[in-house]
Amino acid sequence: MPSFLLINGPNLNLLGSREPEVYGATSLDDIEERAKSLATELGHELECYQSNAEHELIDRVQQAATDKVSFIILNPGAFTHTSIALRDALLAVKIPFIELHLSNTFAREEFRHNSYFSDIAQSCLFGFGAYGYELALHAASNYVAGREGK
C-alpha cells in the first residue's frame, strides 16, 4: 500500500487560533484527522508530522526515504521563504511532493512570494485553506496510480 507523509512546518500547530482571518478556523488536529480518513478511503496510509524546528523537518524528510514513503504533502510554513537546507533534503530523497499553502502567498507580503520549493515540487497548491489538504491527497493518490494529468 503506497504510504504518504503530511508535513507541516513552524506555527502550523497553532492553526485554528493563529490569524484565523488568514489561515481559517480549522485546527491542525482536525486537518490531520480528516486527511487520515480520506487517505484510508483512497487506499493509502498517511502519517502526519509537524515541527517548529528546521532540523527536525529535515530529519523527517530523510527518514521518509528509509520508510519508502511514496509521496509527501508539505506545508513548510515560513521555511518556504528561507530554508535551502529543507529544499536540499527534498532533493536528496527524490520523493515527489506537493507544496501546499493555506493562504495565497502571492497575494500577501512580497517576502512571501519567493519559495525554495515550488520549482522542485511536483505541483503547488495555494489559497484553498484547510480544503487544500484534501485536494493534495486526491492529487497524490492520482499521481502514485500513474494517472497524473489524465
Q: Which residues are catalytic, by number?
A: 23, 101
Q: Which is nearer to ligand DQA, 132 or 144 (CB)?
A: 132
Q: How far is CA 89 from CA 68, 95, 131, in A?
A: 15, 10, 27
The partner residues of 46 in beta bridges, in order of sequence, read: 4
The 16-55 site mask, x for binding ligand DQA (CB under 6 A), equals: ----------------------------------------
Q: Which is nearer to ligand DQA, 45 or 54 (CB)?
A: 54
Q: Which is nearer to ligand DQA, 50 or 70 (CB)?
A: 50
Q: How far is CA 95 from CA 25, 37, 41, 106, 130, in A?
A: 31, 23, 22, 26, 23
Closest listed residue to residue 103, CA positions, set 112, 93, 94, 111: 112
Q: Which stretch binds ligand DQA (CB under 6 A): 42-50, 54-62, 77-85, 86-94?
A: 77-85
Q: Is 83 in the site for ligand DQA (CB under 6 A)?
A: no
